[in-house]
Structure 1
Amino acid sequence: MFVAAAALLAAPLLPLPAAHADAPATKATTKSGTTVVGTAANVGTAANVGGTPDTGRAPATAEQRRDAAQSGHDRERDSKGWRGTWAASVQPPSLTLFPNWSREGFKQQSLRQVVRVSIGGTAARFKLSNRYGSTPLRVAGATVGRTAKGAAVRKGTSRALTFGEEKAVTILAGADVFSDALRMRVKPLESLTLTLYLAEPTGPATYHMSASATSYRAAGDLRSDESGEAFTDTSVSWYYVAGVEVRGGPVGRRDGVVTFGDSITDGLASTVDADNRYPDELAERYAREGRPRSVLNHGISGNMITFGTVGTGESGVDRFKKDVLTEAGVSTVVVLEGVNDVGLSEIPGSQVPDVSVEQLVAAHRDIVRQARAKGLKVVGATLTPFRGAMYFSERGEVKRDALNEWIRTSGAYDRVVDLDRALADPADPDRLVPAYDSGDHLHLSDAGYRALAEAIDIDSL
C-alpha cells in the first residue's frame, strides 16, 4: 500500500534482468585480499575489479566454498544450524514515496542502520544485497555493535565483520553475500547496529523503501565511532542490508514464520523506531510466552501480487521465491496481499492494468503452490477494510469482498486469518475500526498493528 499515489503511478512496470534472479552465486578472493561474490556468469568481471586479471582467480578454500554455497541461498543450510532472525525485502532504487538515498548511492561515506532481531543465538551473520545494482558493489568494511540511542553504539561492543576472512567484499551486480559468522551472543528482540563503510562510488543502491526505522549517514570511515555524533544525515529506508541469521539456538528447529505482503505487513504509518509493525508485535507475543520464534518481515509498501513496478518491487508471485523460499529455518508463511492490485487498477489513467478477481485468485494459488513445493505451511489473510482510502471505489470493494470470500472458503490455504472481520468497524464493516486507523483509512495505527498480531492464532502457526 502507499502514500503518494501520483508518484507510484508514474513508475513504469518493472523490467528485471533474468540473469540476476536465478544464477547461482560464486565467490573468489583477489590478490588484493578482497572477497568477491557474484553470479557464475560474471565472477571474472568482479575479480578484475579487485585488481587481478580475469584468469587470475585464486583457488577457493574450503571455507570460501562453504560461504559461496551459503550466499547462493540453498535451503540446505538449515542443517548447519542457521536460522533467520530478521529480514527486509530489497527493491530497485527509486524515489517513489518519500526522499531517500537509493538513487544517489554513497561515496566515501559510512552508513549506519539499526535492526531488531526476533530470536537469539550465540553467533550471527549479516546478508548484504546488490540484487538491483548495475555495477559491482564494494564494501570497504563493516562493523556490528549493540544499539544504544539513535546512531550510538553501546561502548565497547563494536566488532568488525569479515567476508571470507577479509574485511572488504565486492558484491557483483545481482548478487547477495553473507558475512562470516560473528561470535556474539544475541538476545531475542535485541537491536543491533550495522555500519558499512562505502569508500568508492556505489551507484544507485539496492534498498528497502519503508523501513519505519532511522538510518544514518556520515562522511568518512566511521565504522568504529561508537558515539554516533557525526551521523547527522538521516533516512527512513534501509540500504543493502537484507537479512540477519543466528545459530546456537535449539538444534534442528525449523519453526520460523515469514510474513509476506504489502505495506500492512511492512508497517507503514507505524511509529518510526518503535518496532510496532505487526510482525514485530507477533515476535513479542512469542517472547512474552517464553518461546521466542523467528518472525521475518517480507512486506514491501505498495507491492502488488500480480504486477511489479520500479517503485514497489517485483510482483508478489515473482519475488516469493527470492524473498521467502531462501529463508533458513522457516516452517510457515502468512500471505496478506492484493489490495493494491484492486485499488490501483481502479484509478483512471493508472499504469496498472485492470486486475480481475480471477487474476488475484490465480496469483494466490501460485504462491500457495510455491510454498507447498518447499514444504511450508501457508496461511491466507483476508484483505483489511479500506473504505475512505484515496483509491477506494465501489467496484474495487466488490473485488476485495470476492477475493476475501475465496480465501475464507476455497480451502486453498492451510489456515485462514480473517483480518477483514477482526479489524472492521461494526458500524460500517467496509471501514477500519477508528482506533485502528492511522488516518488515511488504509494503513493501521500502532494499536491497529497490535490488534492484527493479536488476531493471529499463534499456536496454529
Structure 2
Amino acid sequence: MRLNRPFFTDKISSALSAAAERKRRRRQTILICAAVAAGSAIAGFSAQGAESGAWITTWAATPAPRWSDDLPAPFGVPEVLENQTVRQVARISVGGNSVRVVLSNAFGDKPLTIGAGSVAIAGKDGEVDQATLKPMTWGGKSSVVVPPGAPILSDPVALSAEALSEISVSIFLPRKTALSSVHWDGVQTAYISGQGNFTNEAAFKADSTLKSRLF
C-alpha cells in the first residue's frame, strides 16, 4: 500500500532515523584490546557486560611470545619489571563514551598480577589529561591476577573519547613480572617508570621507553 502524502512520511522517517542514530551514539562503547589473541576472544568479550549497549573494538594488537625461534631478538624489551608502572598509548578508530581494556597473558607461564590500572586521554610525552584520568577495575576490584595463557577484560570505564583520538592505558606491576606477551611493532612510544605506582599521576619520569606493546 502506498500513501498519498510522501513528503510527510519522508519527514517522519528522517526524524525516526535521526533519533535512532542519536540513541546509538549515546550507547556506543569501545574496547581497547591491548593484545587479544584472536577475533573470537574479542567477540566473546563483547558479549560480556554488554547490557548498556554494543561494544566496538576500536584498537587491537596481536600478542606474540617475547622470544621464539622464528621471531627476532627482543631488542628494547626488558625481561622483567617489578614495582613499576607501564603507560601505553593507543590511537583509536571510532570514539565512544565508555571504554573497556583487554590485556593478555597469552604466552605467560605464571599468573600476571596487575596491582592497579587507569585510562585517560593521552597528552604529550607520556602525560595524560588529569581531568579524564579514571581508574580501571576488574569485577569491581582495583587489582587482578590474570591466569597463564589467558586475557583479562576490565570493567566499563566512563570516558568520552573522540574518533582518532589517543587513549593512555597505565598498569602497575607490583611483583616481579616476566614480559612474555608482546607485540613487536608498537609504533607509539610506551613509558616505563622507576619504582612505584603512578597510574593515578598525570605525569611521571620515565625510567625507560620502548616501541613494543606489552600485554
TM-score, with structure 2 as normaliser = 0.73
CA contact (8 A) 2:133 2:200 kept: yes
- Residue 148, structure 1, aligned to residue 126, structure 2: no
C-alpha distance in structure 1 between counterparts of 2:174 and 2:142, whole Å: 13
Shift of 1:154: 1.5
Whichever residue aligns with residue 77 of structure 1, its letter is: A
CA contact (8 A) 2:179 2:214 kept: no
In structure 2, the residue matched to 1:77 is 47
Whichever residue aligns with residue 197 of structure 1, its letter is: F
In structure 2, the residue matched to 1:91 is 64
- Residues 372-404 of structure 1: per-residue CA shift (max 9 Å, x gap): xxxxxxxxxxxxxxxxxxxxxxxxxxxxxxxxx
146, 156, 170: which one pairs with 1:181? 156
In structure 2, the residue matched to 1:171 is 146
C-alpha distance in structure 1 between counterparts of 2:179 and 2:207, whole Å: 21
Whichever residue aligns with residue 161 of structure 1, its letter is: M
Shift of 1:222: 0.9
Whichever residue aligns with residue 146 of structure 1, its letter is: I
Whichever residue aligns with residue 59 of structure 2, its letter is: W
Classify the secondary structure of the residue corresponding to 1:74. helix
C-alpha distance in structure 2 between counterparts of 1:227 and 1:79, whole Å: 31
In structure 1, the residue matched to 2:24 is none
CA contact (8 A) 1:71 1:177 kept: no
Report the CA distance shift for 1:134/1:227 in structure 2 as closer, same or farther (over 3 A).
Answer: same
C-alpha distance in structure 1 between counterparts of 2:123 and 2:134, whole Å: 15
> Based on CA coordinates, which of the two structures has the bigger radius of gyration?
1
C-alpha distance in structure 2 between counterparts of 1:209 and 1:141, whole Å: 24
Whichever residue aligns with residue 135 of structure 1, its letter is: K
CA contact (8 A) 1:119 1:187 kept: yes
Whichever residue aligns with residue 226 of structure 1, its letter is: A
Classify the secondary structure of the residue corresponding to 1:173. coil
Question: Which stretches of structure 1, 4 residues or more, deviate above 4 A after TM superposition?
Answer: 70-73
Shift of 1:75: 7.2
In structure 1, the residue matched to 2:200 is 224
Question: How do 1:396-435 residues align onto structure 2 when only pairs under 5 Å count?
Answer: none
Report the CA distance shift for 1:214/1:72 in structure 2 as closer, same or farther (over 3 A).
Answer: closer
Gaps of 5+ in 1: 1-69, 241-461
- Residues 64-105 of structure 1: per-residue CA shift (max 9 Å, x gap): xxxxxx978527729931110000000001382551325x12
Shift of 1:157: 1.9
- Residue 118, structure 1, aligned to residue 93, structure 2: yes
Shift of 1:187: 0.9
Classify the secondary structure of the residue corresponding to 1:225. coil
Report the CA distance shift for 1:99/1:169 in structure 2 as closer, same or farther (over 3 A).
Answer: same
Classify the secondary structure of the residue corresponding to 2:185. coil
Question: How do 1:233-382 residues align onto structure 2 when only pairs under 5 Å count?
Answer: 233-240=208-215
62, 68, 83: which one pairs with 1:108? 83
Classify the secondary structure of the residue corresponding to 2:132. coil
- Residues 339-364 of structure 1: per-residue CA shift (max 9 Å, x gap): xxxxxxxxxxxxxxxxxxxxxxxxxx
C-alpha distance in structure 1 between counterparts of 2:174 and 2:102, whole Å: 19
Whichever residue aligns with residue 210 of structure 1, its letter is: D
Report the CA distance shift for 1:155/1:206 in structure 2 as closer, same or farther (over 3 A).
Answer: same
CA contact (8 A) 1:71 1:178 kept: no
C-alpha distance in structure 2 between counterparts of 1:71 and 1:110, whole Å: 26
CA contact (8 A) 1:106 1:198 kept: yes
In structure 2, the residue matched to 1:197 is 172
Classify the secondary structure of the residue corresponding to 2:170. strand
C-alpha distance in structure 2 between counterparts of 1:74 and 1:92, whole Å: 23
Gaps of 5+ in 2: 1-39
CA contact (8 A) 1:121 1:185 kept: yes
C-alpha distance in structure 2 between counterparts of 1:198 and 1:120, whole Å: 28
- How many residues were matched structurally? 169
C-alpha distance in structure 2 between counterparts of 1:181 and 1:76, whole Å: 11
C-alpha distance in structure 1 between counterparts of 2:42 and 2:210, whole Å: 30
C-alpha distance in structure 2 between counterparts of 1:193 and 1:76, whole Å: 21
Report the CA distance shift for 1:166/1:71 in structure 2 as closer, same or farther (over 3 A).
Answer: farther
Shift of 1:107: 0.6
